[in-house]
Amino acid sequence: MTNLEKSTLSGKVALVTGGSRGIGAATALRLAREGADVAVTYVNGKDAAEEVVRAVEATGRRAVALRADSGDAEEAAGAVDAAVRALGGLDVLVNNAGVGVLGPLESLSPADVDRVLAVNVRGVFLASRAAAARMSDGGRIITIGTCMTQRVPGPGGTLYAMSKSALVGLTKALARELGGRGITANIVHPGPIDTDMNPADGPYAAGQTALTALGRFGTAEEVAETVTHLAGAAYVTGAEVSVDGGHAA
């Protein structure tokens, strides 16, 4: 870590939704290594979230795990208030929690649509609004989208791509609405990333690998690196940043 990087996030407080595993856990740890105190949310993975807290604390930063379902309107916004109470402020929100329900159009029920939109869209809107109200000027809102907002390479992605595409509009509108306070809003589009959601040895892995220019899955740490860069970047806003191994190329 350079001195410049260290000072960028030193003394900052970050909230990472869905921080118990995968991209969220890697992001929480990376932000801490760059100097931030970190709150993470989870739903089922209490032990995993507490492990992330211990890993953050081992870097010398403070951390807290909060049980908050992003699909519940009160909990999505309430997590922001809880993070502020626990860590004394909020500078960086990472909207990472997300769910993927994939399948043919006719297989997707109205309940599937409600659940995916509640977690992937409404929860992000409500957390971002709560964060904007609580965060100091110069804050950062970073949202995790997907490469499927850029290119949908096959069938089965209607609901997931629709939900994540809404976040592109939200991000650009937030950038315009909050820019006067120096708050930036950006969206990161991961390609196939090796996590529980999308294991690199899963049944659909070979097809996804073939769609990347680099011919491999990415790691959660490779996404975390870009999220952490955006957490320190003052003149990048309203941007879509792909970390997709060339999936959209």
Ligand X SMILES: NC(=O)c1ccc[n+]([C@@H]2O[C@H](COP(=O)([O-])OP(=O)(O)OC[C@H]3O[C@@H](n4cnc5c(N)ncnc54)[C@H](OP(=O)(O)O)[C@@H]3O)[C@@H](O)[C@H]2O)c1
- What residues contact residue 238 under an 8 Å CB cut-off, 6+ apart? 171, 172, 175, 176, 185, 186
Q: Does 144 interact with ligand X (rule: CB under 6 A)? A: yes
20 membership: H or E segment, kind and range? none
Residue with smaller CB distance to ligand X, 8 or 161? 161
Q: Look up residue 215 and give its amino acid.
A: G
Shortest distance (Å) from residue 41 CB to ligand X: 5
Distance CA 63, CA 13 (A): 9
Residues contacting ligand X: total by CB under 6 A: 32
Token pair, residue 4, equals: 């410049």
Binds ligand X (CB under 6 A): choice among 8, 96, 150, 184: 96
Contact flag: residue 221 with ligand X (CB under 6 A):
no
- Touching ligand X, residues 1-20 (CB under 6 A): 17-20
From the list 92-100, 165-173, 179-187, 233-241, the region that binds ligand X by CB under 6 A is: 92-100
The least distance separating ligand X from the CB of residue 196, rounded to whole angstroms, comes to 4
Site mask, ligand X, residues 170-199, x = CB under 6 A?
--------------------x-xx-xxxx-
98 touching ligand X, by CB under 6 A: yes
**Smallest Cα–Cα separation from 10: which of 234, 232, 221?**
232
Min separation Cβ 142 and ligand X, Å = 12
Beta bridge partners of 241: 188
Q: Are strands 240-243 and 92-95 parallel, antiparallel or unpaired?
A: unpaired
Catalytic annotation present for 235: no
- Within the chain, residue ranges assigned H as helices are 3-9, 22-33, 46-58, 73-87, 110-117, 123-134, 158-178, 205-211, 220-232
Pairwise CA distance, residues 183 & 121, whole Å: 20
In the complex, the residues that contact ligand X under the rule CB under 6 A are 17-24, 41-45, 48, 69-71, 96-100, 119, 144, 146, 190, 192-193, 195-198
Query: Which residues have a catalytic role annotated?
Result: 160
